[in-house]
Structure 1
Amino acid sequence: MEIDKFVHLNKLFILYKSLLTEKQSTILDYYFEEDLSLGEISGEISVSRQAVFDTIKRCEVILNDYEQKLGLFKKEIEENQKLEKIVSIMDEISKDYNLKDDRIQVIRDICKELSE
């Protein structure tokens, strides 16, 4: 799986994990969180390697479907972009007016915290 696709699927899994079955969630936990290979996962849960592969592929479709319908990942990206814009504007203001105000740093810290 390509790295961008892997990262995207992992983010979707984090957002929609609670909507998956226990078995699906367990397999993806091993895959993403524990970084186990398909063979290692199959050994952990006593199913074939092919069953693990099929479950991951099925979950990929399911998670993309959830994202298409609910759009939580897209909203998170949009919110992070807005927060980055706020920080950028605050940086410009503090430079333009040569401000050393602690409140600006507080705003930056809040924006950073919200984007995590």
Structure 2
Amino acid sequence: MKKIVEQGLLYDFYGELLTEHQREIYEAAVYNDMSLTEIADENGISKQGVHDLIKRCTNTLESYEDRLHMIRRFEAIKAQAVALEKLSGDSGTNMDAELRAKLKGISGKIIEELI
């Protein structure tokens, strides 16, 4: 399950950098949960060809993340926004209600944009 989530995130961030053919095959495998045989039959290629293409795409997407770190940055920003939202909801802090409401609104908008 974790691998599928990882593949989905990689594709969400870097999928547009793949060719159209690569995107079609990768989406069929990752998002549509089609078997290698089903994908091969639909695209007129061998099952091994599908397997190799998916593996190459995954390696390519991982290499983009290794260089650009967009997913890592996304996760860090999301964690900070969640922490800010939690802090703004903590009534035990010495923050006035107006400031707390503003912070909660800002953090909520950030989280909404990230999701």
Instruction: Give the C-alpha shift of residue 110 in structure 1.
Output: 1.3
Instruction: Give the C-alpha shift of residue 37 in structure 1.
Output: 1.0
Task: Give percent identity, aligned residues only.
Answer: 27
> How big is the alpha-carbon RMSD for the aligned residues of Structure 1 and Structure 2?
2.1
2:50 to 49, 52, 55: 52
Q: Deviating runs (4+, > 6 A) in structure 1?
A: none
The equivalent residue for 1:35 is: 33
The equivalent residue for 2:114 is: 115
The answer as to whether partners of 1:27 and 1:56 remain within 8 angstroms in 2 is yes
The answer as to whether partners of 1:87 and 1:111 remain within 8 angstroms in 2 is no
Q: Match of 2:54, SS?
A: helix
The equivalent residue for 1:68 is: 66
The answer as to whether partners of 2:89 and 2:104 remain within 8 angstroms in 1 is no
The answer as to whether partners of 2:13 and 2:71 remain within 8 angstroms in 1 is yes
- d(CA) in 1 for partners of 2:96 and 2:19? 55
Question: Structure 2 unaligned runs (5+)?
Answer: none
Instruction: Give the C-alpha shift of residue 103 in structure 1.
Output: 4.8
Q: How many residues align?
A: 112
Question: Structure 1 unaligned runs (5+)?
Answer: none
The equivalent residue for 2:19 is: 21
TM-score by length of 2: 0.84
The answer as to whether partners of 2:81 and 2:110 remain within 8 angstroms in 1 is yes
- d(CA) in 2 for partners of 1:102 and 1:66? 38
TM-score by length of 1: 0.84
